[in-house]
């Protein structure tokens, strides 16, 4: 069985945030999109964009982002209280798609949340984080 979040190969640096979305309501299993934010240098971060449609090969694009990308993403993570989703008593979920956010904590561990167990406004958290990651890609600095 294919892992829910594919392993990231040949990427140097510590993973800070991983946003992932996979279509699951199709006969062929659907495709996926993933955006990963990594440490790159003291002043810059690296964004890696992975995608695969049902009938195509996986593609990857990398670019440089400034440190504000992490600040913006952590603001979203804190505003939607992602660290508390696992404690929900009456969570909601999405059908036809699985979304996952994995992020690094201050102590070096990771917290993983998914659309299988989220609050009512949880889908907004996934959407806002995706937009925040995408807007910080400096196209002129593609690797």
**Tens-level pLDDT at each residue, the chain (143 residues):** 333 333 334 445 899 999 999 987 666 667 899 999 999 888 889 999 999 887 788 899 899 888 899 999 999 999 999 999 988 887 787 778 889 999 998 888 999 999 988 998 999 999 999 999 999 887 544 44
Name 116's bridge partners.
none
Q: Is the Cβ–Cβ distance between 85 and 9 less than 8 Å? A: no
Pairing mode, strands 15-23 and 59-66: unpaired
| Structure tokens belonging to residue 96 | 């036809």
| pLDDT for the residue numbered 26 | 63
10 Å CB burial of residue 99 (0-12, 13-18, 19+) is: buried
| pLDDT for the residue numbered 6 | 36
| pLDDT for the residue numbered 3 | 34
> What domains does the chain contain, in order, with CATH numbers?
15-141 (3.30.1560.10)
| pLDDT for the residue numbered 141 | 46
* Centroid of chain to Cα 109: 16
């Amino acid at each position: 069985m294919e892992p829910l979040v594919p392993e990231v190969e040949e990427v140097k640096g510590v993973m800070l945030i991983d946003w992932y979305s996979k279509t699951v309501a199709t006969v062929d299993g659907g495709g996926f999109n993933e955006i990963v934010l990594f440490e790159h240098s003291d002043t810059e971060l690296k964004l890696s964009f992975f995608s695969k449609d049902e009938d195509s090969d996986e593609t990857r694009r990398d670019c440089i982002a400034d440190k504000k990308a992490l600040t913006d993403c952590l603001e979203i993570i804190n505003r939607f209280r992602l660290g508390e989703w696992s404690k929900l008593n009456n969570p909601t979920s999405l059908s036809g798609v699985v979304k996952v956010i994995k992020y690094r904590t201050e102590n070096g561990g990771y917290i993983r949340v998914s659309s299988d167990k989220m609050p009512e406004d949880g889908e907004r958290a996934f959407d806002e984080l995706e937009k925040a990651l995408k807007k910080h890609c400096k196209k002129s600095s593609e690797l």
